[in-house]
Amino acid sequence: MDFDMGEEVATLRTELRRLVRDHVPADYLGAFTDDPADLEVAQSFCRTLAADDQLCPAWPARFGGRDASPWEQTAVREEMWAAHEPRGAQYMGVNWVGPTIMRHGTAAQQERHLPPIANGEVIWCQGFSEPDAGSDLASLQTAARPDGEGWRITGQKIWTSYATMAQWCFLLARTSREERKQQGLTIFLVPMDDPAIEVRPIPCMMGPHHLNEVFFDDLRVGSDAVLGEVGGGWQVVQEVLAFERVGIARYARCERLLQWAPVALGEAWGSLAEDLRGRWARMEVHARRARLLAYRVVGLQHEGQVRPADSASYRIAVTTLDQDSAAVLAEIAEHAPDTDEGRRFRRAVEDHWRYSVSATVASGSIEMQRILMARSLLATR
């Protein structure tokens, strides 16, 4: 066995930490706050990363990347999430929108969309969920009907993150009614500045920009907006989920906050209840466990293997870690001193707690993961 990622990854981490230290304020808690300056930090940081060849290192060189190893990609994911994701909304473009366009896009679509993502200049949103299609995504009703050489799209999406700021939407719509609901779905790449699109923010506990409703009122798009085959959208969605199989490195932020806790508390750490320090130690173990489960999935993916139960184990372990660690840290943070660092720690923990509430719902509910895992466990029965 070998759990050492090697010198190359260590060097990359050092560089990423330098970039964060030099370009992201110490009290930064993500792009999506009431302060527009935080959003500008993210936009600017993406351009900085792009200039340093660190925005999409895992992309092939011909699309603007540098063919980095999956472990470098993992390190980027960890360092960014630990630093409250200073790439803002652009992580989606890098992680899965771009790679999906590489696989399914026409040459014209690749030329149009990939350079802006690689240069850190564009924000995408994902138009999947609908009021009556959440975990049961294939039940979606947003319809695209043929209109001459193009299409007209009408319907509603919901829980759409970053829709107020996105320039493009990766939209899943129904183009025909078939025997199975997974058939007849198509992906469209849609410009968000069209007047036929209305975005209505939904206030929520994580702060602004996370949740929106998006209405498409007879939106006209050309045939060049279709990604892949008409009616082949469900297969593309499965690939999107495969790119996201490891997803956000939630364990990295948990690990950072857990490690920060004794430092931030200073002398107060010694007077914490023994039980609370024990719960902190258990969370340290759970954070390591989630990280190692992620590494196993990354390693298997790299070898071309997919074991659904492994991916599901990881997703369940990391999302429950997020919530359990937030509860422990919130209790610890109450003992943080009223110093600059103590206050920064408390704010970071509060932010972590708010995000953690959504962890078992966002990007696919934990119940779906359990269903997938049970199917795999019981497959031969």
Q: Which residues are known to be catalytic?
A: 244
DSSP letter at 153 equals: E
Angle between helices 250-265 and 70-82 (to 10 degrees): 50
Distances (CA, A) of 353 to 38, 191, 227, 357: 19, 34, 37, 6
Q: How far is the CB of 11 from other proteins (least distance, A)?
A: 15
Q: Which of 23, 112, 181, 277 binds other proteins (CB under 8 A)?
A: 277
Stretch that binds other proteins, among 16-24, 118-126, 175-183, 205-213 (CB under 8 A): 16-24
Q: Which amino acid is at 320?
A: T
CA distance 92 to 46: 12
Shortest CB 313 distance to other proteins, Å: 4
Q: Residue 326 is encoded by which pair of tokens? A: 């937030």
1 binds other proteins (CB under 8 A): yes
Choice between 113 and 346, CB closer to other proteins: 346
- Could you say whether residue 72 binds other proteins (CB under 8 A)? no
Site string for other proteins, 26-65 (x = CB under 8 A): x---------------------------------------
Looking at residues 243 to 272 of the shown chain, list those that interact with other proteins (rule: CB under 8 A). Answer: 252, 255-260, 262-264, 269
Pair 47, 118: CB distance under 8 Å: no
In the complex, the smallest distance separating the C-beta of residue 1 from other proteins, rounded to whole angstroms, is: 4
Phi-psi region of 88 (alpha: psi -120 to 50; beta: other; left: phi over 0): left
200 touching other proteins, by CB under 8 A: no
Q: Which of 281, 242, 280, 369 is nearest to 318 (CA)?
A: 369
- Comparison of 202 and 273: residue with beta carbon closer to other proteins: 273
DSSP at 232: B
Q: Which residues contact 62 (CB under 8 A, 6 or more apart)?
A: none
- Measured from the CB of residue 334, what is the shortest distance to other proteins in angstroms? 18
CB of 321 vs other proteins, minimal distance in Å: 10
In angstroms, rounded to a whole number, what is the distance separating the alpha carbons of residues 102 and 111? 10
Q: Give me the 361-380 binding string for other proteins, x by CB under 8 A, dash otherwise.
A: ------x-xxx-xx--xx--
Q: How far is the CB of 300 from other proteins (least distance, A)?
A: 9
Q: Is 87 in the site for other proteins (CB under 8 A)?
A: no
Query: Near other proteins by CB under 8 A, which window of 85-93, 100-108, 289-297, 352-360?
Result: 289-297
Shortest Cβ distance from residue 318 to other proteins (Å)?
A: 10
Q: What do you get for the CA distance between the two ends of the chain, in Å? A: 32
Q: Which is nearer to other proteins, 46 or 249 (CB)?
A: 249
Task: Name which of 230, 245, 241 is nearest 302 in CA terms.
Answer: 245
Judged by beta carbon, residue 42 or residue 122, the one nearer other proteins is 42
Residues 315-334 interacting with other proteins (rule: CB under 8 A): 316-317
Is residue 96 exposed (0-12), middle (13-18) or buried (19+ Cβ within 10 Å)? buried
Q: How many CB atoms lie within 10 A of CB 159?
A: 21
User: Hey, what's the torsion of the CAs at 362, 367, 368, 371, to 10 degrees?
Assistant: 160
- Angstrom distance (rounded) from CA 208 to CA 72: 31
Pair 173, 188: CB distance under 8 Å: yes
The CA-atom distances, in angstroms, between 272 and each of 8, 264, 323 are 39, 13, 21
Task: Pick between residue 193 and residue 275 the one whose CB is nearest to other proteins.
Answer: 275
Asked if 82 is part of the footprint of other proteins (rule: CB under 8 A), the reply reads yes
Point out which residues bind other proteins (CB under 8 A): 1-5, 17, 20-21, 26, 71, 78, 82-83, 252, 255-260, 262-264, 269, 274, 277-278, 280-282, 284-289, 291-293, 295-296, 298-299, 309-310, 312-313, 316-317, 341, 367, 369-371, 373-374, 377-378, 381
